[in-house]
Structure 1
């Protein structure tokens, strides 16, 4: 198939952000708080249309995670749906084995996952401890993890909230989710730490809201804007992307469950290789009207390899 022309949502370049850091607060329900009238963020996005997104299948050479920040894996999961919490836990372990094999890792810790479905979510409260919680596609081109949740009442335990990934917050994620024994064993010269996202469709052929990935070699430092993600007991960070016509975008047309995407969100190794990968889902202009709503599962893992 030819490349598609699509609309992507970028963070605006506002003078406000020269004086005030972008932020988004996640607040638990409390008396007097009305999420429909009280703003909890200062984020302003803008649509950019006619963005060329090239099909990975058309490329002469396979994409590699160290070169551009992402690649397509070949892997058949034992799980096609998630109805029980144990299935999610087993999928995390399966992901750890996949990344060990593909990246030659000496240790992998899958510390988080997200289930998403592109349907209206009508609910007044939900539990973020629920491993089967379904969310909608995340907003805005970003590097790191986002929650796309309507402002309703929610419950949480602080230890299940994961920091978003920037060069500053990456070490905090590593320190928080690795055991003391793992830190003692690997946090020393000679080891490379990466935070890797795997993204797998749960529909047989994905056409609705596929994922677009940006070649990190086309992203300049001035394109990245760090934003705070504020929760009651800590502040994390995520990078949003501002528009630059130099960005090169890619997608995997008609992605199947046996073709998970892997992309890097953080890397301790310095150099010219890819150390992050902005990404976002988009409205596919080639999708038929009766396309199955996008369902997906993504994981986030700390991957340790020898340098």
Structure 2
């Protein structure tokens, strides 16, 4: 089905200026735009990272009872304990990506976030602003920060392909509200993207905020269970077909398959009472494809 939701999208800064931070310190206004959001339920196999920038994996983490400290399963994880997440869950994520991504030879996890949906502002609540976690410059910065110098140099030169994949799943039952919405990257244009500098105490990254355009296509996955996994591709150094995504006005499509995403209040649309607050984990991964390719572009 299709819902209509007011999504948070950016009002861009003046031409030539650089925005800073997506959170509370972001200095430029966001506005809410009513956009149709279609459900991929029943069509999960129709979407791929390479073409659409997202992929749905139904039931890929089949554990009964679901991942919890009481399940008795050797993979049981207390997601509130970072040490257990690192020891028990992260290895499963790495194995999943190596199995699902053809040509992938290594996965480096650089962080994970456990989120609990909340109506009040908390550091770990859902993110409603539509964004892409890394610009190409930000992706390369992550590679330099988290990989050895030799590997990072090969990625920068285009000798080896790499991607950044977010692995997202529920950790508390079925998602009945605040699901993720994600855009088909073919419907985005380069002019939709606004670079945002992310400033940390010891690191400066770069993300994208998204400007609204009526032809953008958004999707969500209804009733995600704990065994379901959503892959969001924030960057892939393998460039897309230059002709793909160019509209009639000549506005260029994205050079790379990158997924703009955020959450939305499904119950605000349906009018249903919230059954429980959404809890989720998102693991952000650098994926290395060890076979050199002439199709990867030098990133500048």
| TM-score, normalisation: structure 1 | 0.77
**Cα distance, 1:218 vs. partner?**
0.3
2:106 aligned partner: 107
- Partner of residue 154, structure 1: none
Show CA shifts across 1:32-74 (max 9, x none): xxxxxxx84312100012x111110244852111110001124
Instruction: Give the Cα separation in 2 of the matches to 1:25 and 1:179.
Output: 28
Q: Which residue of 2 aligns with 1:52?
A: 36
Alignment equivalent of 1:41, drawn from 10, 19, 26: 26
Is 2:131 the counterpart of 1:142?
Answer: yes
Give the match's secondary structure for 2:84: helix
Per-residue CA deviation, residues 188-229 of structure 1 (Å, 9 max, x unaligned), is 765310011111011221011000010000000100000111
Deviation at 1:266, TM superposition (A): 1.2
* Stretches of structure 2 lacking an aligned partner (at least 5 in a row): 62-66, 68-74, 245-255, 294-300
CA contact (8 A) 1:208 1:287 kept: no
Q: Cα RMSD over matched residues?
A: 2.6
Map residues 84-103 of structure 1 onto 2, 5 A cutoff: 84-90=81-87, 91-103=89-101
Contact 2:163 2:233 in 1 (8 A): yes
Shift of 1:231: 2.5
Instruction: Please state how far the C-alpha of 1:185 moved relative to its aligned partner.
Output: 8.1
Q: How far off its partner does 1:269 sit?
A: 1.3
Matched, 1:234 2:203: yes
Q: Which residue of 2 aligns with 1:5?
A: 4
Residue 280 of structure 1, CA deviation: 0.7
> For 2:232, what is the secondary structure of its paired residue?
strand
In the alignment of these two chains, the number of paired residues is 261
Note the alpha carbon deviations across 1:225-255, whole angstroms, 9 max, x for none.
0011122333211100000011101111111
Q: Cα gap change, 1:120/1:53 in structure 2, threshold over 3 Å: closer, same or farther? A: closer
Cα distance change on mapping 1:187 and 1:96 into 2, 3 Å: farther
The match for 2:247 is: none
SS in 2 for 1:255: coil
Task: Tell me if 1:64 matches 2:64.
Answer: no
Alpha-carbon spacing, 1:223–1:183, altered in 2? closer, same or farther (3 Å):
closer
Please name the residue that 1:255 is paired with: 224
How far 1:98 sits from its partner (Å)? 0.6
Which residue of the other structure, out of 14, 18, 21, is the alignment partner of 1:17? 14
**C-alpha contact 2:182 2:260 (8 A) present in aligned 1:** yes
Distance in 1 separating the partners of 2:44 and 2:281: 28
* Contact 1:80-1:202 at 8 Å conserved across structures: no
Residue in 2 aligned with 1:159? none
| Alignment TM-score, normalising by the size of structure 2 | 0.79
- d(CA) in 1 for partners of 2:95 and 2:223? 26
Matched residues in 2 for 1:252 and 1:207: separation?
11
Counterpart in 2 of 1:211? 180
- Quote how far apart the aligned CAs of 1:289 are: 1.1
Residue in 2 that maps onto 1:118: 117
Gaps of 5+ in 1: 27-38, 124-133, 145-164
Distance verdict in 2 for CA 1:25–1:219, change over 3 Å: closer
**Matches of 1:106 and 1:252, distance apart in 2:** 29
CA distance in 2, matches of 1:110, 1:278: 20
Helix, strand or coil: the match of 1:168? helix
* Cα displacement (A) at 1:103: 0.4
* TM-aligned CA distance change 1:220 to 1:101, over 3 Å: same
Per-residue Cα deviation, 1:259-286 (whole angstroms, up to 9, x for no partner): 1100111111122385200001001023
**Alignment deviations for residues 157-197 of structure 1 (CA, whole Å, 9 cap, x no partner):** xxxxxxxx111121111111113475588777653100111
Tell me the CA shift for residue 86 of structure 1: 2.1
